[in-house]
Amino acid sequence: MSPPSLLYSNQPIETSIHLRKSVRTYSGRLIPEEVKSRIQKAFNQLSGPFDAPLRFQWLDIPQLKGDEKVRFGTYGVILGATNFIAGAVKKGDHALEHFGYCFESLILTITSLGLGTCWMGGTFSRSQFARAMHLANDEWLPAITPLGYPSWARGPIDLLFKPITGRIRFPWQKLFFSESLKTLMTGEEAGDYAVPLEMVRIAPSAANRQPWRVVKQGNRFLFFLAHDAGYKGKYDFDMQKIDMGIAMFHFEATAREKGLKGEWQLKLSAAHDLPQNWEYIVTWQAK
């Protein structure tokens, strides 16, 4: 797999990560055809860590009247947007991590082009978007995003969601460990990987649950998912594995941008006495 990057942009990935925020109120300003074309071309150029067929589709919401337009597909939590991107991935092992990785790559590319987005995994009508995408029985529709130019005036929906999805993030001491879960990792111990890990720390996640946990063992970084009981059985897929894919993209893209070499491996090295709700996902083997 080629090094991840922001397609059609020279903006550093770290900059795009810091600039990205959830935009729920849009100005309605039309997206130029040139920008739309660049984004659509990126659909087929995204690559990820696993072999999971996926596809993205640009959807223009019909120009409905009044409240119909507000409610279409998003239960009124997105205002002023008429353009959406929906993503589908073929069901299988590591498909959701792959989807999260690639969709975050796309969202950060869109951010670098000056547009707003908003990860939406639960607050949209899957049936409406599934019909629009002609979703197959062997596919999941994990998430969508509106896209467009943000409105200067923040709507009431932004204020409603801010306490839930704001920029508050867990400290390092809760997320990163050295050799075992008994030893917390410091920035000094992270060494050259301090910035990639910081980009993991500030990554977006469903309801801001931040489920990623990383254990550094020598030159390996073991990624674990700390499951939140609130998501058990809520969907026919594990929403938080998408979050893990997002974290993986932030980590690898930032590492490669800094010249750090490595690769993803599925082989679990020593990790003992894991909390009951933890699940091993993947290991980054530094070179």
10-residue mean pLDDT series, the chain (287 residues): 58 94 92 95 92 94 52 72 94 98 96 95 84 94 95 67 67 94 92 97 95 95 94 88 98 96 86 84 96
For residues 134 and 178, state if they share a domain.
no
Of the residues 137, 163, 189, which one is the last residue of a structural domain? 163
Of the residues 114, 142, 163, which one is the last residue of a structural domain? 163
Q: 105 φ, ψ to 5°?
A: -60, -45
Name 52's Cβ contacts closer than 8 Å, sequence gap at least 6. Answer: 89, 90, 92, 94, 95, 98, 99
For residues 128 and 34, state if they share a domain.
yes
What's the pTM?
0.91
For residues 147 and 218, state if they share a domain.
no
Name the DSSP class of 31: P
Name 123's Cβ contacts closer than 8 Å, sequence gap at least 6. Answer: 74, 75, 77
Q: What's the structural domain count of the chain?
A: 2
Domain containing 150 equals 13-163
Q: 91 φ, ψ to 5°?
A: -60, 140
For residues 27 and 158, state if they share a domain.
yes
- On whether residue 146 sits in a domain, the answer given is yes
For residues 102 and 244, state if they share a domain.
no
Of the residues 163, 185, 207, which one is the last residue of a structural domain? 163
